[in-house]
Amino acid sequence: MSRSPERLDAFPTHRIAGFGVRAGRPLPFGASRVPGGVNFSVYSAGATRMTLVLFRRGEDEPLAELDFPPEFVVGAVYSMTVFGLDAETVEYGYRADGPFDPDRGHRFDRRQVLLDPYATLVHGRDSWGGQRRPLRSGVALDDFDWEDDRQLRLPSEDLVIYEAHVRGFTRHPSSNVDQPGTFAGLVDKIPYLKSLGVNAIELMPVFEYDELDNERVDPNTGKPLHNYWGYSTIGFFAPKAGLAATGRLGMQADEFKNMVKQLHRAGIEVILDVVFNHTAEGNERGPTLSFRGLDNSVYYMLTPDGYYYNFSGTGNTLNCNHPIVRGFVLDCLRHWASQFHVDGFRFDLAAILARAPDGAPIPNPPLLESLAADPVLRDCKLIAEAWDAGGLYQVGSFPNYHRFSEWNGKFRDTVRRFVKGDAGVAGELATRLLGSPDLYRGRAPTASVNFVTAHDGFTLRDLVSYNGKHNEANGEGNRDGDNDNNSWNCGVEGDTDDKHVLALRDRQVRNLLLLLLTSHGIPMLVAGDEFGRTQRGNNNAYCQDNELSWVDWSLAETNAGLLRFTRAAIAFRRAHPALRRPWHLRGHQGDGLFPEVSWHGERAWTPDWSPGQRLLAALLYCHGPEGHDCVYLAANAHWDGRELELPALPDGMRWHLFADTAQPDGHDVHQPGEEPPIAGDRVRVEPRSTVVLVARQTESRSERE
């Protein structure tokens, strides 16, 4: 683990390029403020010469270039303390000299001024879409007052994750925030998040990236497209300036910290979507920004003839299990956990983190083992997107060390298929409902991050409005994006004023939400799905920095019924421990009223698992300090309704109706604790609808009668 430098002697021993300097401390890597100056430390095993290049902030021409004398090199680490520097007014980079021999993996190019991989600020993209200056490294302030803030450490089984893009969340004019599209703008929406009931926000990439790194144009408008999502990192230790209202002032780190602090005060954890599978340098035709010029053969997976393996689908693959890269990833995550108080990480294309330098999967990947056991990361949630673009699919088999949860793609596919009416899915849906014990046996249900939609794919509204993708605006001839969406347009492709189609779509969205929020595991929603956000059929809006991607907050009013439904479903989940299991079900527990799960059909206790069946009915039960908790769920994906016999309750208890997606807006859901009793011992589940009941003690003579 990196250690902070000890106090340095403040007297220079050398004078280079007009600056007093002395041999620096090799650790920590990066630029660190020390008494009287700044300590610079950078690693390169292959370089033959290293130069520190200093700039006055905002100027293109160097202020000075300082070669590292041989006596300033320890092993493969170049370190130098430069005195008399004001870290707030200086930018820097490195020139690394060495062989340019691609066949052997070396691509040194002394003409390039390289970014420091450990830079805590990156200058050159100081405002979103603004002037592109040369990329330079910078040193962030370290005087933020956290007061008593710390990571929240919420139990995983209690989480409801909300995935959002910082810019897209508030950039739309309807957001009504003071600083749209920024960390500060997100702070203004914290009361909304709290009212929705989510308690973890998963932010799409916030490490520095170049939003203008896209050469395509919209074929319809001719306008340039963007690298909007940001899955091409150029500064792993630096929050993106263009996502901060104060980025022009170099205050993006403080603005980010304040956002985390305010979210924590509202009881909301912060999870970062991090991208360690590749960098913005692309393949051999890409730019030399940092790693390629410092030690190409160390940082990237290379073929025997020096080309880049492309398991990421973006041109290169970071060599994550090389000891140097492993240390870099660990240091980066420790930085965000300790300096920014973030509560967890979601690893993009995480299967790459389980590959050896030659691309072969490793059964015991050193990086993942180190992350799982790291003391600084102990309280962080670790979530893997357990596949990559090279075909390695590890959902249920990801090397987890009992620490990693996984985006459960099988949950997504099963729920989508069931709700759109595919036959033969009810049995698998039952397994997914219980936290996918077939995939995660020996682990907790919280190993499964359940989702129906994510940033990559259709929105929830589009999932029930389009059979196929409509990505023409991306300028790739509609070839990009997934073709296997398991979507159904309910009879009409896209926009329609057909009331029957619109009503069916509303019902299908509610069916999907109920199945998501009543399943064991960790549910994840995508920003705007709770009130019907659409991307008009685009299922790969990575380049769309416009109203196609931005959250349109006017929909919260237009679709107020859906928003009310979602809020109630989240509150219902929070109210019922039978839905938030910290362990997989074990059967009938002692003095309980029911087994922890029981399956039913048109007759109670008689499920029908035949291949053509499109009905699933379950009683989820637990008995704890707060009493008996009984939730009955019946999902009918058939085009005919069903009359179901309910499991009998003990004397003094009665079934109450929480939700029925077949009912019109305003009558489809009730507030938890205020559910009305139902009459009789049967319930009608209309075509393509879902019913959720809860057992409660009778409260009055009339109820008992």
Q: Which residues are catalytic?
A: 348, 385
Read off the DSSP letter of residue 114.
B
User: How far apart are alpha carbons 162 and 87 in whole angstroms?
Assistant: 37
- Token reading at 388: 């990559």
β-strands 682-685, 642-645: how paired? antiparallel
* Amino acid identity for residue 559 in this structure: N
Q: Is 6 left (phi over 0), alpha (psi -120 to 50) or beta?
A: beta
Alpha-carbon distances of 657 from 44, 348, 643, 679, rounded to whole Å: 65, 40, 15, 10
Closest by CA to 290, choosing from 597, 43, 517, is 43
In angstroms and rounded to an integer, the radius of gyration of the C-alpha atoms of the chain is 27
CA-to-CA separations, 594 to 146, 181, 338, 597, 605, in angstroms, rounded: 48, 50, 45, 8, 11
Phi, psi angle pair for 89, to nearest 5°: -115, 10
Half-sphere exposure in the Cβ direction for 683 (13 Å, CA): 29
Q: Using alpha carbons only, give the angle 159, 163, 167 rounded to the nearest 5 degrees.
A: 140
DSSP 214-238: ---B-TTT-PBP---S--SEEEEEE
What does each C-alpha distance from 315 to 104, 114, 343, 349, 692 come to in angstroms? 18, 20, 30, 14, 48
Q: What crossing angle do the helices spanning 499-518 and 426-433 adopt, rounded to 10°?
A: 50
Q: Sign of the CA dihedral 374, 376, 381, 387?
A: negative
| Residue 517: both structure tokens together | 């929020």
Alpha-carbon gap, residue 693 to 581, rounded angstroms: 18
**Are the beta carbons of 181 and 171 closer than 8 angstroms?**
yes
- What's the N-to-C CA distance of the chain in angstroms? 68
Neighbours of 283 (CB within 10 A): 14
Q: From CA 53, how far away is CA 650, in angstroms rounded?
A: 78
